[in-house]
Structure 1
Amino acid sequence: MAGFKRGYDGKIAGLYDLDKTLGRGHFAVVKLARHVFTGEKVAVKVIDKTKLDTLATGHLFQEVRCMKLVQHPNIVRLYEVIDTQTKLYLILELGDGGDMFDYIMKHEEGLNEDLAKKYFAQIVHAISYCHKLHVVHRDLKPENVVFFEKQGLVKLTDFGFSNKFQPGKKLTTSCGSLAYSLRLLTCSAARW
């Protein structure tokens, strides 16, 4: 496809042409991509499996399980999972308006109150829906709320720390380690 670079693995399973980087995480990079037959733009979370330890692999599979379960108008859709020897590709719905963190940084005046109420209600509906399915997101922050301006929506994304819970039972988690939590806080604070 014209305008799409052939670097960074070029195509995924012959179906998606990868383009520019949209974001980076600890073990993943999110790329813009286009379906070679339909031309539809998507976001592709590319996870390098060779860099994952047992704990991170468990988080990854939990993320995929939770994302397959949650299907809501205010949650970014997981369209497809492509698993190769060294990489896992999560094909995701692409927002057209960036994330809430970027919006906040660009607009000192913020949103008008009516629009802020509308978006806040959408986030609350998405969280409530997840909780009804016994899924907790565990990483709610402006970077994980994406604008879909043409649809007039915001959607939750990045279920990398999500987990399933059983009502009435304590949620056991590997994120309970103080050192691990402090490392995550330090990485997040560095972006602020």
Structure 2
Amino acid sequence: MDQYEKVEKIGEGTYGVVYKARDRVTNETIALKKIRLEQEDEGVPSTAIREISLLKEMQHVNIVRLQDVVHSEKRLYLVFEYLDLDLKKHMDTCPEIYKDPRLVKSFLYQILRGISYCHSHRVLHRDLKPQNLLIDRRTNSLKLADFGLARAFGIPVRTFTHEVVTLWYRAPEILLGSHHYSTPVDIWSVGCIFAEMVNHRPLFPGDSEIDEVFKIFR
């Protein structure tokens, strides 16, 4: 870990803390995700193994790049390229996004390109939400991040857990308890994100699973 110097904490992911950091060798700014390994006998969390294995395989302009993996004592660090904000922060701090159809169209196109690449490589993201879409504010390039809940899928579609996807972006089939689902759950999430970019508010802001179902079907 001597190669990387933490600068500041910038958030929490599915299972760890994310820091803005500096590579002492290249002086490059990077994002450092620290994964806690609390139980020695339990090893590395399955979510971390899943994210590492998937991101090592997937190389795409609209998917965040995993640059390095460092195991240090009771910590596992994932080293990512650094992007300075996410879509949620961008929508909160830059209201003009709602008035710029070209920017909304560009973001939607990039989300769809990224998720199309995932699906073509038989990967469901399963946790698409504005907080997991990272943006480079200089170029307005967008990248999918946080693959901790992602799953590889085959044919036929396997049985999965239904406890995935943040509530507001969760597809009806998952809310209704289905354990057999596929790529449409990601497309549903994309549709909810698109509506939020256009309308300046979440499409289905339910406060419980049953409330979410009522908001979708009313």
* Length-normalised TM-score, structure 1: 0.79
CA contact (8 A) 1:81 1:90 kept: yes
What is the distance in 2 between the residues matched to 1:24 and 1:105?
18
Taking the TM superposition and a 5 Å limit, the aligned residue runs for 1:25-174 are 25=13, 27-50=15-38, 57-96=45-84, 98-111=85-98, 112-166=100-154, 168-173=155-160
| Aligned position for 2:197 | none
1:150-186 Cα shifts (integer Å, max 9, x gaps)? 33311111101011111x222333x33xxx559x649
Question: What is the number of residues matched between the two proteins?
Answer: 170
1:47-77 Cα shifts (integer Å, max 9, x gaps)? 1111699698112211111111111001110
What is the distance in 1 between the residues matched to 2:63 and 2:8?
23
What is the distance in 1 between the residues matched to 2:16 and 2:47?
12
- Tell which deviates more after alignment, 18-27 or 53-62: 53-62
1:67-97 Cα shifts (integer Å, max 9, x gaps)? 111110011100001112311100001013x
What is the distance in 2 between the residues matched to 1:185 and 1:53?
32
User: Gaps (5+ residues) in structure 1?
Assistant: 1-11
Q: Which runs of 4+ in 1 moved over 4 A?
A: 51-56
In structure 2, relative to structure 1, the CA distance for the partners of 1:78 and 1:142 (3 Å cut) is same
What is the distance in 2 between the residues matched to 1:136 and 1:52?
30
* Length-normalised TM-score, structure 2: 0.70
Q: CA RMSD in A?
A: 2.7
CA contact (8 A) 1:44 1:91 kept: yes
